[in-house]
A and B are shown apart, each in its own frame.
Chain A
Amino acid sequence: DIQMTQSPSSLSASVGDRVTITCRANQSITIYLNWYQQKPGKAPKLLIYAASSLQSGVPSRFSGGGSGTDFTLTINSLQAEDFATYCCQQSYSTPPTFGGGTKVEIK
């Protein structure tokens, strides 16, 4: 199975900040990397697919980048509703695997 590693595991930020989360795969997954947001007690929600494509309805302050083994999720101008856990997932090979998550908390 492909192993996905996220960093940091948590971070504190303020409304208006720019936040970047990193996800690394232990082998190349080309662009098959997806990002999800999960709020407490809720199901994950797809934000970014294929490394950099914004899912319909997701605010443009979210962006993704990278290819191969290293990827980033950036949130520009963090909003109150963005405090949540973010998780990456590779869809390059079966089984799909997830990163451990990054919890974005209010500073």
Chain B
Amino acid sequence: EVQLVQSGAEVKKPGESLKISCKGSGYSFPNYWIGWVRQMPGKGLEWMGIIYPGDSDTRYSPSFQGQVTISADKSISTAYLQWSSLKASDTAIYYCTRQTRPRWDAMDVWGQGTTVTVSS
């Protein structure tokens, strides 16, 4: 079964750092793009960026460039989303997704989501 399994919920304070993960299985992880999508409480979906684990080619939405870092370790089939200094406005559910191509293709597999709560 093709699946993406994300790390568990996090509760952090403003200013703290965080790295969440997304592990792929059931397919050739290096050969598919992994994207990240944010869903703030009660709101819609926002695309943050995408990485190709095969060569770590990474692209960011202008809205998230400089705010987060996307990385991947193809040896353990895992992609990451990290923050160096969290803000309360980073409180959201974060989903990882799979795509065959970074453009044109739909997000055909989704992780279960990681809830990040940032509060003092």
Q: Is the CB of B111 within 8 A of A94?
A: no
Measured as residues with beta carbon below 8 angstroms from the partner, the interface class of chain A is 20 to 34
Q: Is the CB of B106 within 8 A of A91?
A: yes
Chain A residue contacts of B44, Cβ below 8 A: 87, 98-101
Q: Nearest Cβ in chain B — how far from A7, in angstroms?
A: 14
Q: Smallest CB-CB separation from B102: which chain A residue?
A: A94
Number of cross-chain contacts by CB at 8 Å: 54
Query: How many residues of chain B are within 8 Å of chain A by beta carbon?
Result: 20
Main secondary structure of the interface of B (DSSP, over half): loop
Q: Is the CB of B95 within 8 A of A44?
A: yes
User: Within the complex, which residue of A45, A49, A87, A95 is in contact with B62, where a contact is CB–CB below 8 Å?
Assistant: A95
Using a CB–CB cutoff of 8 Å, the interface residues on chain B facing chain A are: 44-47, 59, 61-63, 95, 102-108, 110-113
Which 6 A-B pairs have CB atoms at the shortest separation, nearest pair first?
Answer: A49-B106, A34-B106, A43-B110, A95-B61, A98-B45, A96-B47
